[in-house]
Structure 1
């Protein structure tokens, strides 16, 4: 087994590029780790479709937990890179997130897929929360409460402008729809330049 993996790793590093990986898996058709290393070889050569096939086979054969996590992340990421498999990428990464909720790489790759699906708020929310949880930067820690709030209220800000709003007692925010509601007038204004100018509010 050690010799098999050594050969596969050399293939991954490009030391024996002339050897076809298909011959290796033919020799060891039930070795999931061989398939996993062959996936890495093909992925590094830009052969994503072939890499997916090797990865799928490795998962079906069974992998240890650590390798399984990485295999699923790589599979979901490669589906996204292929371009026409965004939904499949989302499906894989969402399931892996349920299985390994504390494994941060899957969360970041999930955010990339969400971005590709134009689900920008969800993607940014994941990135922000991971940044808050993992950063050692003191400057960012000073804004932790603000960043935690914005991570959960990204949909409030729409369009190409960022708004700095001074909220008084007569006004409150409907965060689900991104509207400012004016109690005394019973009027609903959608976030826009026009609406912002009607109150003590500035935008930048």
Structure 2
């Protein structure tokens, strides 16, 4: 089935994009009727997340990632959504595990690495979190002074406790 030609799914996604509870409910019903459809599960997770229903979103994200057929962009979104959701729910170890797994597929992704840094901080791995944030900052900042000191920032990311 081509999702672009599924009017029920298209309408439900439009309602999800508007942040409506009706969109969430329609997607939940679609997901219940299509439990193996990763794309519907992802959209359903996203709809719950948008409404602040993180605990309800997590199983749909899990189902989406376990399924087949998600585009790379949707897999990225599902990883980010699940990792962030686990972190918000206080499931820090699971957040770290999901976000580390996501980096196998998207190793240089700054958003995933940033969310991983937050989860690492929550697990007490603050040095690893700061290291990751310094690496992301050095690699992605457009600030001229950060760019000027990029090499030093990259060096100290790996040598945070070094003194002379």
Q: Same fold (TM over 0.5)?
A: yes
Q: What TM-score range do you get, normalising by the shorter chain?
A: 0.7 to 0.9
Cα distance per residue 1:116-140 (max 9 Å; x no partner): 1121111111111111111222222
1:142–1:43 distance in 2 versus 1, CA, 3 Å: same
1:18–1:108 distance in 2 versus 1, CA, 3 Å: closer
- Measured in 2, the distance between the counterparts of 1:144 and 1:15 equals 44
**TM-score, normalised by the number of residues in structure 2:** 0.84
1:82 to 82, 85, 89: 89
RMSD across aligned C-alpha pairs, in angstroms? 2.1
1:81–1:129 distance in 2 versus 1, CA, 3 Å: same
Q: Which runs of 5+ in 1 are unaligned?
A: 157-174, 181-204
TM-aligned CA deviation for residue 16 of structure 1: 6.1
Q: Which runs of 4+ in 1 moved over 4 A?
A: none
Structure with a larger share of its residues in strand:
1
SS at match of 2:142: coil
Q: Which runs of 5+ in 2 are unaligned?
A: none
Residue equivalent to 2:80: 73
| RCO comparison, higher one (Cα < 8 Å, 6+) | 2
The 8 Å contact of residues 80 and 86 in structure 1, kept in 2 or not, is answered as: yes
Does residue 22 of structure 2 align to residue 17 of structure 1? yes
Aligned length: 157
Match runs of 1:64-143 below 5 Å:
64-83=71-90, 85-143=91-149
- Measured in 1, the distance between the counterparts of 2:158 and 2:71 equals 35
Cα distance per residue 1:126-162 (max 9 Å; x no partner): 11111111122222222223322321122x2xxxxxx
- Measured in 1, the distance between the counterparts of 2:64 and 2:101 equals 17
1:107–1:37 distance in 2 versus 1, CA, 3 Å: same
TM-aligned CA deviation for residue 6 of structure 1: 1.8
Please tell me whether Structure 1 or Structure 2 has the larger radius of gyration of its CA atoms: 1
